[in-house]
Structure 1
Amino acid sequence: MLCTASYSIANEEKVFFSSVWDSFDNNTDDVPISNSFRYRTSKELNGSAYWGLRHHYSGGGYVANLGNTKLEASTVSATLKKYKWIDDYTTAIFIEFSIYNANTGLFNLVMLVIEFAAGGDVVSHANIDSVQLYRYNGANGVFSLLTEIGCLIFIVVITAMEIRRLIHEKARYFTNGWNLIQLITIVFFLVAMSMYAIRSVMTQRLITIMMNNRESVTNFQAITLYNGYFLLFLGGVSFFVHIQFLHVLRYVQSIALLTSVLTSYMKDMLGIGYATVLILFSFTTTMALCFQQVEGYETFYMAFGSSLSSMMQKFDFLKVTEATGLPGGAFLLIFVTTMKILVINFLISLLNETLSAIKQKRETWAKDTEVMDHLKHMIVSMITGEDSKGQRTY
């Protein structure tokens, strides 16, 4: 049995080898070398760092091109096997390929990852992403371009208005919570636009490479990375915009009630939320350490997602029990019971108390809700020809 050190980016092998991983002098020109045994950086590969289930990888490594046909792939694979390209020192294998769907114009990017731990166990997973490289082709492309231009003009105008308000109000601007939400929304949108611009530049460069050399190996990893960042910040923009609807629709009585409850509930909710995060973090850390052999708990990130699903009664008790025994199943039940009874019930009880207190103060609300009632009566009178008292208006 061969014992190897645990992998890290710091001790990653970065030298050139000849066949069968024999070291050679880089200055010796007459020694034949295969590109598969030559280390290439992430910059050379147009790639980026990657978080695996076991380690964090730099994005560089030793690359073998399997070609564009099944015969080429079989020949290259046999050669790599002959020269032991995959050996006991291999930490991870990344298999990347892309498929173009002409009907939708999408590139489907597939990455199969196989990781080898120092103890000998093997884990595998797959990432599948879809990216639209040709965005402005056809009628839909023109519509997308016009929409993006309109969106750019809109955000420039909104940003200018907020900057003018900030200069005028100065420190008072930050005392209004809705102003802070608006400011966060603008910042998220600007960052999303930056990610979109970077992705567009990289896409055009990649398309140029593909058109000039159709046999070249194209790496979409960096594009998918920035596309993920773009979608992440765009999702944040969507979230905060929906939050602002509570302020826009404050004239509706039910929305005014909801806003008042959330405002009064905020301080107590932050305290309970802090306790909830501590409890959830403690249970999740224990699950990530003890349930590593269970699917869905291999890493802390995956264990956190499984913990949230367990709070909503979505968990496989038999799978956990078979892998960890009765103590593991009992621990999972304790977690679900704790989060449901001690946390969720506390939140609901506090919410009910706050709602009761708000309802008792409804007579002190502003008259904003009467605006909606007035508009509703006007619309009804225009349609039916009767006022609120049932009398004809003509």
Structure 2
Amino acid sequence: GGANPRISVSRELELKTTLRELVIYIFFLTDLCILTFGMVSTEMYYLNKVMSQLFLEPPYSEDSHSSFRNIESRADFWRFAEGPLLDGLYWDKGYNNTTMLTLQDNNSHIYYENLLLGVAQIRQLKVHNNTCSIYPHFHSFFTDCYSEYRYRAEDRSDFGLKNDSEWKYTSASSLSPWYWGYMGLYSSGGYIFTLPQSKEKSLEKLVFLRQNNWLTRGTRIVFIDFSTYNANINLFCIVRLVVEFPATGGALTSSHTYSVKLLRYVTYYDYFLASCEIAFCLFIITFIIQEAKKMIKLKKKYFESAWNCLDVLLLVVSILAIIFNIYRTVEVSLLMEELLSDPTEYPDFYFLAFWQVLYNELIAVNVFFAWIKIFKYVSFNKTMTQLSSTLSRCAKDILGFAIMFFIVFFAYAQLGYLVFGLQVEEFSSFPNCIFTQFRIVLGDFNFQAIEDANRILGPIYFITFVFFVFFVLLNMFLAIINDTYSEVKADFQLISSEELQIRDLFRQ
């Protein structure tokens, strides 16, 4: 049917343009979702799970003190390395528990399915002696003093037997990422050794290093790195086990297991995903040209629209994702043959996994922003317009009130950190306090721990925080939004409801 004569031509043209953009954008979003969800699979989770169970959980038949999670000292570390670690890395038993004479093709197959690539590597970082200040009255009690790890305090001198790589410092390659642990940021160099290909020789080497004190009082962190490949599902699993030995004594353990698809294009479905990636690049080039034309036309006014800012953000993240993907693909093709060339060496797949995970995270952020952008096209709907008008109209009030809210919130966070920080894990650092308070607002809290830490200030802190933040301040946010929504709804009732909407175009 013909358009209603009361409807302005410009309004109809604007809606037709929006509808055309929406259709193109739906194709773009579908393409993005296919290539993103094609990268991940449930097998990745299960591969991570079985690897974690094998190396982190204590075996039923053995002493739990030999498990990775229960490492509390250097002696526990050696117990784990000589026991569960070697048992997990070298599968020299068949399905029926009979001992194999030799490992298949001199290679270990973890769970009989995951080929251990090359050998495992163990690396430690140390600090110099006398790297901390001792109060004069205690000089007679302490002849040695090892600080927490800092790059400047790192010990790079030869030690022990001084004859092999495990006793000599090895500088990091410039591309290796540093490691952010519980107690600091650790460099990529260190004292490194690799385990031999057989379980017996590996055990001999570990016993030899233990007896010759490879771990010293200055040791601050130990990394155990190895990689596996499962041909059944075309997945690499890169495992890093980390034990930090802080200056306080004791040990802190953490683990990182990355199941990644480094060989991206193998099956027909993989090549279909490759075509989606090419289409994604073409979409991005088209959008860049469109936004560039808009910028030239509108100049500074371009950035006054929140949707335009979102478009720019989406394009920037997309371009970064494309660059990361190209870099990762090139590095895999260049390094794969080199990494697998010598089975007696440690192949550093951690570097490739790092970039793959970074790309995965970037494309995930991209998908999030891409879905949010849909609101731009549905804003011609009356209900959606009311909601967006409400949020834009009350933005200044909410921003002003948010400042007041966070002043109170951070005041309580500092109080919690200073009063409970020494006893309660949830308050042990300032960022932890902030997250803990958000959890209290959501009803997830451990009141007993707060009360045990301070029987007087604990209940006072908890009751006043819940009252002021939960009952007063949060409800003020809702009051501001409700009040603005009522105003917007009243304004919309005065506007003629005969304006053309997208559904009217479909009817035409």
Whether these two folds match at TM > 0.5 is yes
Q: What is the one-letter code of the residue matched to 1:208?
A: E
Distance change >3 Å, CA 95–CA 307, structure 1 → 2 = farther
Counterpart Cα distance in 2 of 1:192 and 1:115:
33
* Alignment-derived partner of residue 475 in structure 2: 345
| Correspondence 1:3 to 2:142 | no
Q: What is the one-letter code of the residue matched to 2:272?
A: F
| Correspondence 1:308 to 2:438 | yes
Answer with 275-284 or 93-102: which moved more.
Answer: 275-284
* Alignment-derived partner of residue 164 in structure 1: 293
Conservation of the 8 A alpha-carbon contact between 1:114 and 1:122: yes
| Correspondence 1:120 to 2:245 | no
| TM-score normalized with structure 2 length | 0.64
Q: What is the one-letter code of the residue matched to 2:375?
A: L
Answer with 77-86 or 59-68: which moved more.
Answer: 59-68
* Alignment-derived partner of residue 29 in structure 1: none
- 1:203-282 to 2 correspondences below 5 Å: 203-282=332-411
Counterpart Cα distance in 2 of 1:366 and 1:244:
27
**What runs of 5+ residues in structure 2 fail to find an aligned partner?**
1-141
| TM-score normalized with structure 1 length | 0.81
Conservation of the 8 A alpha-carbon contact between 1:109 and 1:220: yes
* Alignment-derived partner of residue 360 in structure 1: 490
Distance change >3 Å, CA 10–CA 153, structure 1 → 2 = same
Secondary structure of the residue aligned to 1:39 is coil
Counterpart Cα distance in 1 of 2:469 and 2:342:
57
State the Cα distance separating 1:254 from its structure 2 match.
Answer: 1.8
Distance change >3 Å, CA 66–CA 279, structure 1 → 2 = farther
Conservation of the 8 A alpha-carbon contact between 1:251 and 1:369: no
Conservation of the 8 A alpha-carbon contact between 1:250 and 1:369: no
Distance change >3 Å, CA 122–CA 135, structure 1 → 2 = same
Q: CA RMSD in A?
A: 2.9
Conservation of the 8 A alpha-carbon contact between 1:185 and 1:236: no
Distance change >3 Å, CA 239–CA 141, structure 1 → 2 = closer
Note the alpha carbon deviations across 1:8-60, whole angstroms, 9 max, x for none.
111111233352xxxxxxxxxxxx6111112122217x531111111111122
* Alignment-derived partner of residue 5 in structure 2: none
State the Cα distance separating 1:137 from its structure 2 match.
Answer: 0.8
Counterpart Cα distance in 2 of 1:368 and 1:109:
61
- 1:87-126 to 2 correspondences below 5 Å: 87-126=216-255
- 1:78-89 to 2 correspondences below 5 Å: 78-89=207-218
| Correspondence 1:15 to 2:157 | yes
Answer with 141-150 or 225-234: which moved more.
Answer: 225-234
* Alignment-derived partner of residue 145 in structure 1: 274
Counterpart Cα distance in 1 of 2:314 and 2:352:
24
Conservation of the 8 A alpha-carbon contact between 1:106 and 1:131: yes
Match of 1:189 among 299, 302, 318: 318
**What runs of 5+ residues in structure 1 fail to find an aligned partner?**
20-31, 380-394
Counterpart Cα distance in 2 of 1:368 and 1:76:
83
Distance change >3 Å, CA 344–CA 222, structure 1 → 2 = farther
Counterpart Cα distance in 1 of 2:240 and 2:277:
30
Q: What is the one-letter code of the residue matched to 1:63?
A: I
Secondary structure of the residue aligned to 2:194 is coil
Q: What is the one-letter code of the residue matched to 2:184?
A: H
Answer with 57-66 or 208-217: which moved more.
Answer: 208-217
Distance change >3 Å, CA 143–CA 362, structure 1 → 2 = same
| Correspondence 1:62 to 2:221 | no
Number of equivalent positions: 364
Secondary structure of the residue aligned to 1:361 is helix
State the Cα distance separating 1:184 from its structure 2 match.
Answer: 1.4
Note the alpha carbon deviations across 1:334-364, whole angstroms, 9 max, x for none.
5455432243212111111111111110135
State the Cα distance separating 1:69 from its structure 2 match.
Answer: 4.4
| Correspondence 1:38 to 2:168 | yes
